[in-house]
Amino acid sequence: MSVDAGTLAVGFDELAVLKRLALDGAHRGEVKVSCRSLGEDLGVSTQTASRRLQALEDAECISREKVGDGQFVELTETGIGLLKREYEDYRAIFEQKGSLSLAGTITTGMGEGRHYVTLPGYKVQFEEKLGYDPYPGTLNVTLSAASKRERSGMASLEGVDITAWEDEERTYGGATCYPAVIESTDGHTFERAHVIEPDRTHHDTAELEIIAPERVRDELGLLDGDEVSVYVESA
Ligand SMILES: Cc1cc2nc3c(=O)[nH]c(=O)nc-3n(C[C@H](O)[C@H](O)[C@H](O)COP(=O)(O)O)c2cc1C
Ligand SMILES: Nc1ccn([C@@H]2O[C@H](COP(=O)(O)OP(=O)(O)O)[C@@H](O)[C@H]2O)c(=O)n1
Ligand SMILES: [Mg+2]
């Protein structure tokens, strides 16, 4: 198995070297490394340690400068990015069971949210199942790369089912709502919101849509590009 780093593949053996280097501080700046002590730390031969460093350099995960009795090694942005991906996975596994913490930026969407949210077939269900009449629209949040991946964890939370319905002209798809709290970077929170995942949507998984009884932009003073955290829970 391997993970992509740039054009070359970095295997889990190399990832272990990357982690070892970062534990020595190589993600913050140059550290002096010898292949022999690296090999001893990892339980492999000096030659194997040397080969793995070469693979990491080829994949542009580290930069290094050889000196007489060893080398100075530093993690690159690509290398740090690979470790962060691992970190996010472990966070998803061990932290905050039953809730998700997502991060992203406020964006303007296609202006369709308003139309759908106010349709009578949905409006009635929101009032009955969520306990409020939503502000007409959806607050769109473009998720960071890590949060886009973590978003799939929402499927394991308990959601409120909004069922499909139809009028004389067409059918409308169902949706799932999850209770959510939105926090702006100045620490203010909006508590009474829901992430809404329509079964049919024109957005990809990087786009999160939120409904609430109030206009959240006004409540939290949010403009396009502002960062927010969205804490999603089970219903
Ligand atoms: C409650 C609700 C129901 C929706 N139902 C449908 C649907 O039946 N068919 C469809 O193509 N899109 C549906 N959508 C998704 C919209 O087409 C669109 O992807 C999205 O909501 C646009 O949001 P934006 O204007 O904020 O960018 C629905 C959206 C919401 C909020
Ligand atoms: N609870 C809500 C719902 C929408 N909104 C905003 O209200 C406007 C109308 O929502 P919309 O979904 O029709 O429009 P876009 O998200 O496509 O821009 C947008 O500016 C949303 O960001 C909000 O601030 N709070
Ligand atoms: Mg919207």
| Atom 5 of ligand 1: nearest residue by CA position | 173
Residue 2 makes CB contacts below 8 A (sequence gap 6+) with 9, 10, 11, 12
Average pLDDT over the chain reads 93
**109, 68: one domain:** no
- Is residue 115 in a domain? yes
**107, 215: one domain:** yes
**177, 203: one domain:** yes
- Is residue 90 in a domain? no
Q: Using one digit for the tens of pLDDT, what is the confidence trace for 26-38?
A: 999 999 999 999 9
**101, 217: one domain:** yes
pLDDT reading at 70 higher than 90: no
Contact (Cβ atoms closer than 8 angstroms) between residue 227 and residue 185 = yes
Cα–Cα distance measured from residue 161 to residue 118, given in angstroms and rounded to the nearest whole number: 17
**155, 64: one domain:** no
CA angle 57, 60, 62 (to 5 degrees): 60
**185, 111: one domain:** yes
CA distances from 97 to 60, 93, 231 (A): 35, 8, 12
Which residue type, as a one-letter code, is found at position 194?
H
Domain stops at, among 59, 84, 109:
84
Q: How far is the CA of 136 from the centre of ligand 3 (A)?
A: 9
- pLDDT category of residue 93 using cuts at 50, 70 and 90: confident
Domain stops at, among 25, 57, 84:
84
- pLDDT category of residue 195 using cuts at 50, 70 and 90: very high
**9, 120: one domain:** no
What is the domain count for the chain? 2
- Is residue 132 in a domain? yes
Predicted confidence at residue 98, as pLDDT, reads 72
Which residue type, as a one-letter code, is found at position 97?
K
Q: Using one digit for the tens of pLDDT, what is the confidence trace for 131-185?
A: 999 999 999 999 999 999 999 889 889 999 999 999 999 999 999 999 999 999 9
Pocket test for ligand 1, best of 135, 163, 200 (most atoms within 8 A of CB): 200
| Integer Rg of the chain from CA | 24
Does residue 216 line the site of ligand 2, with CB under 6 A?
yes
Where does residue 65 rank: exposed (0-12), middle (13-18), buried (19+ CB within 10 A)? exposed
**174, 229: one domain:** yes
**116, 223: one domain:** yes
Residue 27, φ and ψ in degrees, nearest 5? -85, -10
- Is residue 11 in a domain? yes
Which residue type, as a one-letter code, is found at position 190?
F
| CATH number of the CATH domain containing 63 | 1.10.10.10
- Is residue 91 in a domain? no
- Is residue 73 in a domain? yes
- Is residue 89 in a domain? no
Bigger pLDDT: 2 or 98?
A: 98
- Is residue 74 in a domain? yes
Question: Residues 66-69: contacts with CB within 8 Å, 24+ apart?
Answer: 67/32, 69/34
| CATH number of the CATH domain containing 181 | 2.40.30.30
Domain stops at, among 33, 55, 84:
84
Cα–Cα distance measured from residue 135 to residue 234, given in angstroms and rounded to the nearest whole number: 22
Q: Which residues lie across from 233 on neighbouring strands?
A: 99
Strands 139-143, 99-107: pairing kind: antiparallel
Domain span including residue 129: 96-233
Contact (Cβ atoms closer than 8 angstroms) between residue 180 and residue 210 = yes
Q: Using one digit for the tens of pLDDT, what is the confidence trace for 6-49?
A: 445 689 999 999 999 999 999 999 999 999 999 999 999 999 99
**110, 145: one domain:** yes
Cα–Cα distance measured from residue 181 to residue 171, given in angstroms and rounded to the nearest whole number: 31
**50, 140: one domain:** no
CA angle 24, 63, 55 (to 5 degrees): 90
**219, 119: one domain:** yes
Does residue 114 line the site of ligand 1, with CB under 6 A?
no
